[in-house]
Amino acid sequence: MAVMRYREALNQALREELARDERVFLMGEDIGVFNGAYKVTAGLLEEFGEARVRDTPISENTIVGMGVGAAMTGTRPVVELMTINFSLLALDQIVNHAAHIRYMFGGQVAVPLVVRMPQGAGHQLGPTHSHSFEALYLHVPGLLVAVPSTPADAKGLLKSAIRDDNPVIFIEHEYLYGQRGDVPDPHDGEHLVRFGEAALRREGTDVTIVGISRMALTAARAAEALADEHDVSAEVIDPRTLRPLDLDTILASVRKTNRCVIVEEGWPHGGVGANLAALVGEQAFDWLDAPVGRVTGADVPMPYSKPLEQIAFPHEPQVVAAALATLRDS
Amino acid sequence: MATTPAAGQRRDRSRSAPAPLPAPGAAREWLATMLLIRRFEERAGELYAKAKIGGFLHLAIGEEATIVGAARALRDADYLISTYRSHGHAIARGTPPEAVMAELFGKRDGCSRGRGGSMHMFDLGRRFMGGYGIVGGNLPIAAGFGLSAELLRTDDATLCMFGDGASNQGTFGETMNLAALWRLPVVFMVTNNQFGMGTALARHSAVTDLQRKGESFGVPGVRCDGMDVADTHAVVGDALARAREDRQPVLVEAITYRFRGHSMADPEEYRTREQVAEWRRRDPIALWSQRLVDERVIDEADVEELDRQAVAKVDEAVAFADASPFPAPESLYDDVYVLGDQLRGWYSVDERGPEPHRGEREREMPAEEIPAREIYDRHAAGPHEGADERPADEAQDAGERAHDGERDG
């Protein structure tokens, strides 16, 4: 094991996959000479050269579209969008093309493309630079969606994403880039994390808390507070990927605890939690002792002002309160 | 397929003389393919009116020389990518008309297995890389093919065809810039048929000299007579040589005209009958067959025979499409994903049952137990429900046009 930051783990994953498979290449805005807006690609241009680490103009839809075309014809592009907010400019290529090409052309071709981008609020970037869009991409059949919350998962999932033959929306988090964690040493063998396998972050018996992306960390801290201050034993699950979704692990936990709270940073309507609550309701209704609780970002564009912004996305106290509410209702 | 002219033999673009005739076999084959596309499109229009074909139907009648001239300038390993008006592009690339017609019928043996329909033809084996339903959506993808050629060090060029309307999309400028910046082996070809749907060129583009629209991005332009298959072939051949050998992307503007509406749902109130008649005097098939007869490559009887053969091929295509089954209901979830060791299934939900499934459940079920089996059977039995819901003028339009004497043209 080695302790490293989330961004370093991602960098290691990219470096290993570039070295392993010469069909892999990177392109994105300022990923080369500038070393990446969040330094995830630092040093890669120097190591792998301009052909495989390509600085692009600011043309999100076309960068992704070129990735689609390149992926259809024998290469394995990894496209970085500077933030998920800019992926809205590329939605046509992501949804109409990357996600649908294999199906609409009768399975004749695959699109092994990875689109990486960070999301999240908390840096006072206001309404156009603070989105959380995992629900948007979760909506689309044909895409895989990863939301790693730890350095180890960031590395293992990114390596798996690059090797997968499907288009992958790989959602990083601006807050998480600087977080440290244990990552298995490359000398101990390849560290791959399979899509569709949730991580049980903490075992518990009273309530299941599912945390998405950064909210997996918030959920874990809330679980500590629940144990320390309320004598409540919370089980914390990080799904790690939303497509495919490891619903079985979540359902097994809910059947044990009989209560469920879902925590996400995005908006409440049509959110990950809305979807998951419906699935849990359909699949585990008889085991539920309380309605499924959701803690989400506020239903507003993200405000700039610090105190307003801070109350517009979830923190531990809201998660604790939601968990306690499921216990009160029963 | 015809070979691309070598770099040293590039054609003088002074345009004083008509493009030279190709070898007699090629000249004849170009005519045969244009006739096949014409007859195919006419029949598709008739079958649309009879509700054998659903959705939208965009016919390329009038644009056959643009399609065949361009396609014949490609090598077999080159990529061709097109738009929602692409039945002819698939046929020109060698996709059997049977597979194209079966796709229009939504049948299992269609070239996109009944998943794509008229707007989304595809034939990987012949490097026909697709019809695309989003205007301008195919340009970045074409540049991606060029990028693969660059990275994999192949000699393959890409020809990307799109309409005049697409030259106003953001992807046009973005892609021109990137293709020139990275010196990608891509030829962009704007099929200027004078209208972006129903909006005339001068009403949708400030610059109507479309070949110049790439200049500021570093993509030089050339123009060809899209009604002249030999001119189109020569100009696109030159452009492909520049793209392939000099890594210089080029924009080719083909001046052409579609004799039918934008789609079958087009009452054509934006243009006059006189204008259509004017363009029909330069019917690309009539022009080419006349030239071949004048220059004694073929005679009138040959033209008639080629036309008979084209009609017979279309008859066979319709019979094939009729006989092909609809895709099986249990195939609904096929090919959403590449399943394998990493991805064995995914949780999804739909209206057909309360339980989520992993996408592969249908394949494991006995056919009679498939949810919605009754709805499937009803629609597989005859013309689909939506057929009655088409606007009246559209059905009428299609019916009238099927008998407007074009077969004699």
Residues in chain A closer than 8 A to B144 (CB atoms): 65-73, 77
Residue B339 CA: distances (Å) to CA of A196, A273, B294, B345 = 12, 26, 58, 7
Shortest distance, CA A30 to any CA of chain B (angstroms): 15
All structural domains of chain A = 2-188 (3.40.50.970), 199-328 (3.40.50.920)
Spatial separation of the C-alpha atoms in residues B375 and B275, rounded to whole Å: 46
CA dihedral B200, B202, B206, B210 (to 10 degrees): 80
Shortest distance, CA B33 to any CA of chain A (angstroms): 24
**Are B387 and B31 within 8 A, CB to CB?**
no
Q: Hey, CA dihedral for B99, B102, B108, B112, is it positive or negative?
A: positive
Q: What is the per-residue pLDDT for B365? A: 66
**E strands in B295-352:** none
Q: What is the DSSP string of A16-76?
A: HHHHH-TTEEEEETTSSTT--TTSTTTTHHHHH-TTTEEE--S-HHHHHHHHHHHHHTT-E
- Do the Cβ atoms of B181 and A57 come within 8 Å? yes
Mutation to test the B interface, candidates A22, A72, A73, most B Cβ within 10 Å: A73
Q: Hey, CA dihedral for B140, B143, B147, B149, is it positive or negative?
A: positive
Which alpha helices (H) appear in B138-184, and where do they start and end? 138-151, 170-181
Residues in chain A closer than 8 A to B347 (CB atoms): 244-245, 247, 279
What average pLDDT does the segment A62-87 reach? 98
* A102 interfacial to chain B (CB closer than 8 Å): yes
* B178 interfacial to chain A (CB closer than 8 Å): yes
Q: What is the mean pLDDT of chain B?
A: 88
- Do the Cβ atoms of A73 and B148 come within 8 Å? yes
Catalytic: which of A60, A80, A172, A264?
A60
- Spell out, as residue ranges, where chain B has pLDDT lower than 50: 1-12, 351-354, 385, 388, 391-409
Q: Indicate if A60 belongs to the active site.
A: yes
**Are A218 and A120 within 8 A, CB to CB?**
no
* B405 interfacial to chain A (CB closer than 8 Å): no
Spatial separation of the C-alpha atoms in residues B97 and B40, rounded to whole Å: 8
**How many other CB atoms sit within 10 Å of the CB of residue B294?**
8
List pLDDT tens digits, range B248-258: 999 999 999 99
Find residues 29-48 of chain A whose CB sits inside 8 Å of chain B.
Answer: none
Q: B21-325: which CATH architecture?
A: 3-Layer(aba) Sandwich (3.40)
Q: Is B377 helix (H, G, I), strand (E, B) or coil?
A: helix
The encoded tokens of residue A23 equal 């069909």
Q: What is the per-residue pLDDT for B104? A: 98
- Do the Cβ atoms of B112 and A109 come within 8 Å? no
**Cis amide prior to B371 (ω within 30 degrees):** no
Complex ipTM value: 0.94
**How many other CB atoms sit within 10 Å of the CB of residue A219?**
30
- Do the Cβ atoms of B336 and A141 come within 8 Å? yes
The beta-carbon contacts of B274-279 under 8 Å, at least 24 apart in sequence, are B279/B62
A214 Cβ partners below 8 Å, 6+ apart? A120, A149, A173, A175, A176, A265
Residues in chain B closer than 8 A to A92 (CB atoms): 134, 137
**E strands in B36-126:** 79-81
Residue type (1 letter), B377: D
- Do the Cβ atoms of B337 and A194 come within 8 Å? no
Mutation to test the A interface, candidates B132, B337, B355, most A Cβ within 10 Å: B337
- Do the Cβ atoms of A165 and B338 come within 8 Å? yes
Q: Indicate if A129 belongs to the active site.
A: yes
**Are A322 and A283 within 8 A, CB to CB?**
no
Instruction: Give the chain A residue whose CA is nearest to the CA of B143.
Output: A66
Spatial separation of the C-alpha atoms in residues B236 and B189, rounded to whole Å: 8
* A177 interfacial to chain B (CB closer than 8 Å): no
List pLDDT tens digits, range A139-180: 999 999 999 999 999 999 999 999 999 999 999 999 999 999
Spatial separation of the C-alpha atoms in residues B64 and B257, rounded to whole Å: 10
Q: What is the per-residue pLDDT for B361? A: 60
In chain A, the N- to C-terminal Cα span, in Å, equals: 43
Q: What is the per-residue pLDDT for B12? A: 47
**Are B77 and B158 within 8 A, CB to CB?**
no
Point out the residue among A57, A75, A106 whose CB comes nearest to the CB of B151: A75
**Are A297 and A267 within 8 A, CB to CB?**
yes
Segments making up each domain of chain B, as ranges? 21-325, 330-388
**Are B190 and B219 within 8 A, CB to CB?**
no
Mutation to test the A interface, candidates B148, B172, B184, most A Cβ within 10 Å: B148
Spatial separation of the C-alpha atoms in residues B44 and B97, rounded to whole Å: 11
Point out the residue among B147, B337, B349 whose CB comes nearest to the CB of A70: B147
- Do the Cβ atoms of A142 and B336 come within 8 Å? yes
Point out the residue among B171, B337, B354 whose CB comes nearest to the CB of A166: B337
Residues in chain A closer than 8 A to B342 (CB atoms): 160, 163-164, 194-195
* B55 interfacial to chain A (CB closer than 8 Å): no
Spatial separation of the C-alpha atoms in residues A185 and B381, rounded to whole Å: 61
Would you say residue A227 has pLDDT above 80?
Answer: yes
List pLDDT tens digits, range B220-268: 999 999 999 999 999 999 999 999 999 999 999 999 999 998 888 888 8
Alpha carbon B83 to its chain's center = 6
- Do the Cβ atoms of B345 and A244 come within 8 Å? yes
B79-81 β-sheet, strand order = B79-81, B158-163, B186-192, B250-255, B221-225
Find residues 255-314 of chain B whose CB sits inside 8 Å of chain A.
Answer: none
Backbone angles phi, psi at A76, to 5 degrees: -130, 85
The encoded tokens of residue A245 equal 């979704």
Q: Is B190 helix (H, G, I), strand (E, B) or coil?
A: strand
Spatial separation of the C-alpha atoms in residues B121 and B137, rounded to whole Å: 15
* Residue A164 exposure: Cα atoms within 13 Å on the Cβ side: 34
Find residues 221-250 of chain A whose CB sits inside 8 Å of chain B.
Answer: 243-245, 247
Shortest distance, CA A69 to any CA of chain B (angstroms): 4
Spatial separation of the C-alpha atoms in residues A90 and A16, rounded to whole Å: 27
Find residues 258-287 of chain A whose CB sits inside 8 Å of chain B.
Answer: 278-279, 282-283
Find residues 287-326 of chain A whose CB sits inside 8 Å of chain B.
Answer: none
Would you say residue A260 has pLDDT above 90?
Answer: yes
Shortest distance, CA B137 to any CA of chain A (angstroms): 7
Q: Is A146 helix (H, G, I), strand (E, B) or coil?
A: strand
Instruction: Give the chain B residue whose CA is nearest to the CA of A243.
Output: B346
- Do the Cβ atoms of A69 and B344 come within 8 Å? no
Residues in chain B closer than 8 A to A86 (CB atoms): none
